[in-house]
Structure 1
Amino acid sequence: MVLQLENVSLKREGSLILKNINWNIKKGEHWVLSGLNGSGKTAILNMLNAFYFPSSGNVTVLGKKFGKTYLGEELRKKIGFVSSALQEKLHNNDNAFEIVLSGAFASIGLYERPTNEMREKAIDLLKQLGCFKYANRNYNTLSQGEKQRVLIGRALMAEPELLIFDEPTNGLDFIAREQLLETIQNIAKNPGSPTMIYVTHHVEEILPVFNKTLLLKRGEVFSSGDTKDMISSQQLSEFFGVSVTVFWQRDRPFLSK
């Protein structure tokens, strides 16, 4: 198991953010975590990264049971994280190469001396992701799409066992969005690719590789299972509380009202 949440609840400042969450992810599975704003998606991500601990229930991530073993930096090195929110924490004066290198240490900025092997790996990732041409440019001068590609390189630097994409297409135009989604699809095709979680509230971003989906509503699991069953007209109409129609093209779902 990559992830086990057993009857997990979370209280923050007296409010119940998550309630009785059950979620199991096996190695090799790729999941979508979907819900409207305020559904609790961010709270779950903070818990997976050991920033939050459950108020009740059991959490086990990559074999580490919360409350039983030391967590923190060592766990986060095994989890790749790609998020627009992370961009705000990075040092804008670092160049793309340095940002990718920092992923080897799960740090914001470079505080340790990278090895030659790390440098070569970062260069290879920049080339694979089409970022090498702007490797020496400051991060704050890059476009949103370029920044997200650099973050993917940073996330892959430590060879994570779990790779999380948190609303990665925020701020991207249609072409940049599709290019980024193609990159994610290609990562999944690589032998030995990490288990992936894709967090979104846009169903049209769900790629064929994400064959499992958890629908989260008001801090509770509304439903979970095979993506084709979860992303259906009937299921989503009940989920959103309004009548919607789901149609599929090229193994991707699209929504209309």
Structure 2
Amino acid sequence: MTPASATGARPSPVVLDVADVRVARSGRDLLADVSLRVRSGEHWALIGPNGAGKTTLLTLCGALGHPTSGTVDVLGRRLGRVELSELRRHIGHVDPRHRMLRDNIVTEVVLTGLTGSSDPVARWSPTPAEEARAHSLIASVGLGARSTARWSVLSQGERGRALIARALVATPSLLLLDEPATGLDVAAREHLLDTLDGVRAAHPDIASVTVTHHLEDLPASTSHAVLLRDGRVFAQGAADHVLTSEPVSAAFDHPLDVERVDGRWSARTRRGAPPA
């Protein structure tokens, strides 16, 4: 891609700016010297082995925690200087572990994205425009015929797509996805990733950050990536440069052959590598 400065075009606005962040708990650094800048329209993957710090970093991105040192600016507002509940209304979250107290229907679940609650809020009603947007999003993720279905009867894949619609209903500038393909079979995963590619095409200004352990769970629209290891950034930049055999092998401490075919990644143990 030609740099914006070379073409005279202005760079896209910065949506997320993490600078020299450290997060310490019980005397242990969960993150150290981590920096990340995400611009509008970019789609980042956070990749790394268990314990690398992915979830901790996503927590900062979602204004759900504060760094021990360093700064985090989300949508132009610095953590520690802004009212967090108001800021979180502009961030969409997709977490397959989402919990509710009641067995809500799909439309109710999606509308809770406007109130930031787990269940519908008593004595709150959406405007006609908000309700229309919810139904439009439900249809866009392929659940138009399931809008009145109860959560308990949905498949895991249907729940994942409903949560994407929930995350989008408040028109967020930043979308955070925490292992969205967890628990899905192959067909459901492919449907979910196709849905994410469609969402990104339909909302070109939205930025997103996706946490996953598996390269196979990344949508083809992924543009950038961060490899984390032991709480530090091991590599970051354009996905085609970061998600290749050598850096991924080093980050996971295992010899891997990484390929990208038709926009999608796969990884397998390098042929001829000695057993671990």
TM-score calculated relative to the size of structure 1: 0.94
Superposition deviation, residue 49 in structure 1? 2.1
Distance 2:203 2:189 in 1: 24
Whether 1:98 aligns to 2:111 is no
Larger radius of gyration: 2
CA contact (8 A) 1:92 1:138 kept: no
Aligned to 2:31: 18
Gaps spanning 5+ residues in structure 1: where?
none
Give, as a single letter, the amino acid of the residue that structure 1 aligns with 2:101.
H
Q: The residue matched to 2:126 in structure 1 has which SS?
A: coil
Please list the CA deviations of residues 10-52 of structure 1 after superposition, one character each: whole Å capped at 9, or x if unmatched: 1123322111111111111111111112111111122222221
Aligned to 2:192: 180
Distance 1:129 1:211 in 2: 21
Distance 1:46 1:208 in 2: 24
Please list the CA deviations of residues 195-244 of structure 1 after superposition, one character each: whole Å capped at 9, or x if unmatched: 11121111122233212100011111111011111111111121122211
Gaps spanning 5+ residues in structure 2: where?
1-13, 270-276
Q: The residue matched to 2:133 in structure 1 has which SS?
A: helix
Aligned to 2:216: 204
After TM superposition, the runs of 4+ consecutive aligned structure 1 residues lying more than 3 A away are: none
Superposition deviation, residue 115 in structure 1? 1.4
Aligned to 2:249: 237
Of 68, 74, 82 in structure 1, the residue corresponding to residue 86 of structure 2 is: 74
Of 151, 157, 162 in structure 1, the residue corresponding to residue 163 of structure 2 is: 151
Aligned to 2:70: 57
Superposition deviation, residue 92 in structure 1? 4.0
Distance 2:163 2:238 in 1: 29
Whether 1:134 aligns to 2:146 is yes
Of 49, 56, 59 in structure 2, the residue corresponding to residue 36 of structure 1 is: 49
Please list the CA deviations of residues 136-178 of structure 1 after superposition, one character each: whole Å capped at 9, or x if unmatched: 1221221100111110110010000001111111111000100
Deviates more, 1:126-135 or 1:143-152: 126-135
Give, as a single letter, the amino acid of the residue that structure 1 aligns with 2:142.
G
Please list the CA deviations of residues 107-140 of structure 1 after superposition, one character each: whole Å capped at 9, or x if unmatched: 2212122112211111111111111222112212
Of 243, 249, 256 in structure 1, the residue corresponding to residue 261 of structure 2 is: 249
CA contact (8 A) 1:92 1:140 kept: no
Distance 1:177 1:208 in 2: 13
Aligned to 1:109: 119
Change (3 A) 1:92 1:34: farther
Aligned to 2:60: 47
